[in-house]
Structure formats: C-alpha cells, structure tokens
C-alpha cells in the first residue's frame, strides 16, 4: 500500500479513534501507530516506538482543557524526530496555543473537529512542499486553467495551451474537470470514456490503464474528457482525484487542467497540486471582482501565490493599466490573449483550435505563454511529488 504513514498521539481515546478513521478516509495515508502516551522525555518508550514506525506525519491532539502537556510533547517530538512532519490538532479559540504549537515545530495546525478534507489538504501541502526539496525523480507539471467568471474563455485557453505545449515539448495531456466538459468539442473528438470512468476505476488505475481512458488528438495531445452530464462527476471525492493526478504526473510531462467555472473542493485540491493556476479574466469590473474572490476561495489552502492572471479578449483600455488589473484580481499578470471573436468562435464551431489556424497574433500569445511557463524546465529536472510511494 503506497501511502503516507501517519502516527496519532492523543490522550483522549475517542479523539484517537476519530483521527484514525479520518486518516484512513483520505485514501492517501494510513495510520501506523496510535498512542495515548504523550512523550515527556527523550528516553520515553513512545519516542522509541514512533522512531521504529518511521512515520512521515505525526498528528498530535491538543486538548482545550490541558494543552500544556501536549505542547511539551510536540516540542520534544520535533527535537527527537526531526524527519517527521508534525500536525497539531486543536481548537481555534486560544491563539496562544496555536502560536506555541507552531513555535514548538508543528507544520500544520488543524482545527478540531477535523475533517477528512482538512487532513487531505494538509497532506497535499506536505507533498507539494517536499517536491521542492526532493529532486531525484522527474514528474510532470500541472497547469490549471480556471475562469474568474463563466464564459471568460478558460476552455479556449486550456485547449490552445495544451496544444502549444504538445507541439513544443510533446507528452502533454489535457484533463477536463469542468462541470460540463467542452474540451472534446473544441478538439472535434468523440471520447469513449471520461474523467469519471478513470476516477471510478481508480483502485486499479496505472499508467497503462490511464492510456485506455484518454482520447487521442491528431496533434498527439491526449484528452481525458470531461463529464457529459452535470451529475456524472457529483459523487467523486477529492482523494480519488489526488490519486488520478498522481498517476497522470507520473506519465505525462505536462498536464493542463480545464477547471472552467468549477469552484469546489476538487478544484481547490487540483490548484494545490498545480505549478501555476491560470486565472482567466476579461478586463471588466465584474470579471476582476470575481477574480479576486476566486483566488481567495481556491487559494485558501495554500495555493494563492501560484495564481497568475491571464487577460483574455484583451483590448487596451485608456487609463486602466496591467498593474490596476493585478491589484483588482489579487494575482500577478501572466499575459494577454488578444480579442478576436471571429477566430475564437469559428475555432469552437469547427473544432479547429485557434493556434492551428492562421492567426499570428493569437499563436504568438500562446507561444509566449508556453515560454514563460516552461522557462526553467529544461535547466532543472522536474522535482518529484507523490502522495503514493511506489517502492
């Protein structure tokens, strides 16, 4: 079982049982040890036991009525087991407890009662931070394209960006996570399977099975098609998507995600797994206002600094600068895509994306975007991230 190993330290038996269920419920981690003993000295038997399990994460419960012993244990664990990531679980009503826990070495402070999705997000943040440290393995990069507001052009951008990456670097996939998938229409493809099929068969998903769920475009791009009915994706969990993306990045060099106007826990998780989140907006008050709300929501669990603003259907407005747009949206600018309604709508109607037709200004804009996004790729091998150990 290729998962994160987690130890639970909680004096309260009920809380221990709850945490165990929550950890196992993430599907990306499993509990290897659960103990009621808060270690107090380096010679404590609990320290030796924890060392023996080599747990990658230690959850330490901080009860509201007796936080001192748990905080002391946290500090000791930090000293004695520096390789383990410490997650403190406690109430939010006593700020000094939170501050002391973080000072003692906790890398996360999760609110009690905790949920599976809180834990999953914390595990993803950990994996994402580790990829910056571990560089021994080459894995793909994820670029997620999300709309500031419906109709701003996320699908058009995702499809053309994926084709541009495929053309310049090869080995690219486009994953359609929009509430209703339009990417297949943009590419004139008739998929047999969708992302729902891939996620549903996840328990046995490996890269060769993944290949059987994708639809191939003549350019060589692989499409993992989106849901063809709004209800199709409703029951899929964030943990299942985490596993899907883990498989995808082990197979493709680049994975472009069309999230379009999806704003839920799964979109947030995918943003956390992304190298860059491309926020597509038009230069109007409503889109830029929405952009800042989307950054706030999707970036809430750690991805905020990865958002880049892309101004689509761009026309220069006198008196309104790029800096004004950045301030309004709360994200740095990635670039502009020129306004060309005829080219954009003809491309969708015919299923021939814009960069495949003869529009030099549009093609240039996408080439420029790819150059910016991949600037360091050939210099530095891609760092690893995985929630699932394969060895």
Ligand X SMILES: Nc1ncnc2c1ncn2[C@@H]1O[C@H](COP(=O)(O)OP(=O)(O)OP(=O)(O)O)[C@@H](O)[C@H]1O
Q: Is the dihedral of CA 135, 128, 183, 354 positive or negative?
A: negative
The answer to the question of residue 272 lying near ligand X (CB under 6 A) is no
Q: Which of 113, 151, 170, 351 binds ligand X (CB under 6 A)?
A: 151
337 makes contact, choosing from ligand X, Mg ion, none, with CB < 5 to 8 Å by partner type, with ligand X
Cβ at position 249, least distance to ligand X in Å:
23
Structure-block tokens of residue 63: 């009860």
The answer to the question of residue 344 lying near ligand X (CB under 6 A) is yes
The answer to the question of residue 162 lying near ligand X (CB under 6 A) is no
Nearest Cα to 276, choosing from 383, 141, 375, 167? Answer: 141
348 makes contact, choosing from ligand X, Mg ion, none, with CB < 5 to 8 Å by partner type, with ligand X
Cβ at position 262, least distance to Mg ion in Å:
9
C-alpha to C-alpha distances, 220 to 171, 172, 261, 353, nearest whole angstrom = 8, 8, 27, 14
Q: Which of 46, 261, 272, 386 binds ligand X (CB under 6 A)?
A: 261
28 makes contact, choosing from Mg ion, ligand X, none, with CB < 5 to 8 Å by partner type, with none
In the shown chain, the binding pattern of residues 113 to 152 toward Mg ion, with x for contact by CB under 5 A and - for none, equals: ----------------------------------------
The answer to the question of residue 348 lying near ligand X (CB under 6 A) is yes
The answer to the question of residue 365 lying near ligand X (CB under 6 A) is no
d(CA 317, CA 284): 10
Which residue lies nearer to ligand X by CB, 98 or 161?
A: 161
Q: Which of 5, 27, 46, 155 binds Mg ion (CB under 5 A)?
A: 155
Which residue lies nearer to Mg ion by CB, 52 or 150?
A: 150
Q: Which of 27, 312, 374, 386 binds ligand X (CB under 6 A)?
A: 312
Cβ at position 306, least distance to ligand X in Å:
20
Cβ at position 117, least distance to ligand X in Å:
24
Residues 260-289 that bind Mg ion (CB under 5 A): 260
Which residue lies nearer to ligand X by CB, 11 or 185?
A: 185
Which residue lies nearer to ligand X by CB, 246 or 258?
A: 258
Cβ at position 4, least distance to ligand X in Å:
34
90 neighbors 71 (Cβ within 8 angstroms): no
Cβ at position 158, least distance to Mg ion in Å:
8
Residues 182-201 that bind ligand X (CB under 6 A): 182
Which three-class secondary structure string do you get for the chain? CCCEEEEEECCCHHHHHHHHHHHHHCCCEEEEEEECCCCCCCCCHHHHHHHHHCCCEEEEEECCCCHHHHHHHHHHHHHHCCCCEEEEEECCCCHHHHHHHHHHCCCEEEECCCCHHHHHHHHHHHHHHHHHHCCCCCCCEEEEEEECCCCCCHHHHHHHHHHHHHHHHCCEEEEECCCCCCHHHHCCCCCCCCHHHHHHCHHHCCHHHHHHHCEECCCCCEEECCCCCHHHHCCCCHHHHHHHHHHHHHHCCEEEEEEECCCCHHHHHHHHHCCEEEEEECCCHHHHHHHHHHHHHHCCCCCHHHEEEEEEEECCECCECHHHHHHHHCCEEEEEEECCHHHHHHHHHHCCCHHHCCCHHHHHHHHHHHHHHCCCCCCCCCCCCCCCCCC
Cβ at position 22, least distance to ligand X in Å:
34
Residues 52-81 that bind ligand X (CB under 6 A): none
Cβ at position 274, least distance to ligand X in Å:
17
The answer to the question of residue 150 lying near ligand X (CB under 6 A) is yes
Q: How many residues bind ligand X (CB under 6 A)?
A: 21
Gyration radius of the chain's alpha carbons: 23
313 makes contact, choosing from Mg ion, ligand X, none, with CB < 5 to 8 Å by partner type, with ligand X
Which residues of the chain form contacts with Mg ion (CB under 5 A)? Answer: 155, 178, 182, 260
Which residues of the chain form contacts with ligand X (CB under 6 A)? Answer: 147, 150-156, 178, 182, 260-261, 312-313, 337, 339-341, 344-345, 348
């Amino acid at each position: 079982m290729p998962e994160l190993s987690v130890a639970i330290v909680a004096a309260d038996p009920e809380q221990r049982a709850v945490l165990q269920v929550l950890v196992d419920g993430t599907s990306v981690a499993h509990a290897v040890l659960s103990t009621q003993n808060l270690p107090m000295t380096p010679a404590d038997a609990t320290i030796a036991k924890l060392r023996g399990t080599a747990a990658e994460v230690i959850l330490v419960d901080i009860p509201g009525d007796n936080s001192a012993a748990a905080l002391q244990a946290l500090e000791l664990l930090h000293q004695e087991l520096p390789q383990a990531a410490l997650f403190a679980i406690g109430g939010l009503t006593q700020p000094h407890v939170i501050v002391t826990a973080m000072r003692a070495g906790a890398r996360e402070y999760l609110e009690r009662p905790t949920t599976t999705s809180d834990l999953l997000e914390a595990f993803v943040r950990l994996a994402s931070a580790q990829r910056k440290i571990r560089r021994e393995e080459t894995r793909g990069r994820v670029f997620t394209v999300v709309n500031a507001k419906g109709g701003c052009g996320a699908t058009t951008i995702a499809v053309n960006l994926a084709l541009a990456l495929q053309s310049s670097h090869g080995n690219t996939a486009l994953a359609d996570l929009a509430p209703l998938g339009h990417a297949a229409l943009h590419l004139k493809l008739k998929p047999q399977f969708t992302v729902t099929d891939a996620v549903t068969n996840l328990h046995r998903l490996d890269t060769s099975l993944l290949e059987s769920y994708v639809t191939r475009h003549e350019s060589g791009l692989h499409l993992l098609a989106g849901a063809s009915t709004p209800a199709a994706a409703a029951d899929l969990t964030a943990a299942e998507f985490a596993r899907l993306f883990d498989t995808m990045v082990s197979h493709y060099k680049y994975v472009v995600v069309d999230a379009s106007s999806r704003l839920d826990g799964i979109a947030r998780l995918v943003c956390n797994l992304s190298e860059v989140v491309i926020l597509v907006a038009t230069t109007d008050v409503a889109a830029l206002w929405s952009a800042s709300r989307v950054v706030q929501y999707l970036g809430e669990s750690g991805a905020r600094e990865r958002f880049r603003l892309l101004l689509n259907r761009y026309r220069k407005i006198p008196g309104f600068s790029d800096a004004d747009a950045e301030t309004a949206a709360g994200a740095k600018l990635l670039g502009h895509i020129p306004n060309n309604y005829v080219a954009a709508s003809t491309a969708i109607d015919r299923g021939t994306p814009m960069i495949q037709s003869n529009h030099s200004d549009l093609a240039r804009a996408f080439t420029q975007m790819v150059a910016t996004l991949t600037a360091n790729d050939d210099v530095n091998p891609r760092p690893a991230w995985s929630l699932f150990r394969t060895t």
